[in-house]
Amino acid sequence: MLFDWFTFVAQIINFFILIWLLKRYLFKPILNAIDERESLIAQKLRDAEESKVNVKKEYEQYQQKNSEFDQHRDDLLNLAITDINSEKVKLRDQTRSEIASLRTKLKEALHNEQLNMGTEIIRRTRSEVFSVVRKTLGDLASANLEEQITHVFIKQINELNSDERELLQAALNGSADEIVVRSVFDLPIIQQDNIKNTIQLNFNILPIIKFETSSQIIGGIELITNGYKVSWNIEDYLALLEANITERLNQNIEIMI
């Protein structure tokens, strides 16, 4: 039998029952689950989008802050560089000034030292030389030496140039006091006479001469009258030696500075 009415009706009923059951136990729960998941995913996507927007906003804020920070840092850096440069210039100027001051002080110190040293050298040299000369002259001092000194002194008077001669003449003429002749040792009478005669011959006066001895004179004779002095003295040579030494020392100090 190809077709059965009861089966036909039963199958229709079965089918509708199946529709109801599947709707209840299959389609509805699954479709609901799908819808819920879709809404969940949509919500998550919305949240993600929102987060993305927030992140982008925060990123932009961060970028802005970063650029501001960079700008601020650059400004500070430039300021610091400017300060450093000005400070450097200031310190350099200060250092130069201090160096100049120190150099000046050093120069002064060296100069003082030079002076002291020169003075000391001169003093010592003089002392030594004087000591030696004194000793030598002391050893050599004799009538013959005195005679030679007198002879040189007389020669000096005779060889005075016209200006000096005039000055001495004026001094001798205007002198109310006696003429003083100083020497280390007492001059013998003959030499005293020779000096008197030389003055008389050269200046046409009769001199009253007072002969004195002086330990200050190392070796030599000096004539003093009315503030004018004619002398021949070893001291003059020593003064020349002192001048030469001082000049040499000055040259050495300038080279050092």
Contact 234, 218 (CB under 8 A): yes
CB closer to other proteins, 21 vs 89 = 21
Q: Are 149 and 183 within 8 A, CB to CB?
A: yes
**Residue (of 179, 180, 193) closest to 150 by Cα position:** 193
H-assigned helices in the chain: 5-22, 28-140, 143-158, 162-173, 189-203, 234-256
Residue 2 main-chain phi, psi, to 5 deg = -80, -35
Closest approach of other proteins to the CB of residue 9, in Å: 7
Q: How far is the CB of 39 from other proteins (least distance, A)?
A: 9
| CA count, 13 A, side-chain hemisphere, 236 | 7
Q: Which is nearer to other proteins, 30 or 102 (CB)?
A: 30
Q: Which is nearer to other proteins, 18 or 143 (CB)?
A: 18
Question: Cβ 45 to other proteins, closest distance in Å?
Answer: 11
**Under the rule (CB under 8 A), what is the footprint of other proteins?**
1-12, 14-19, 21-23, 25-27, 29-31, 33-34, 36-37, 40-41
Which residue, 36 or 166, has its beta carbon nearer to other proteins?
Answer: 36
Question: Least separation, in Å, of the C-beta of 48 and other proteins?
Answer: 13
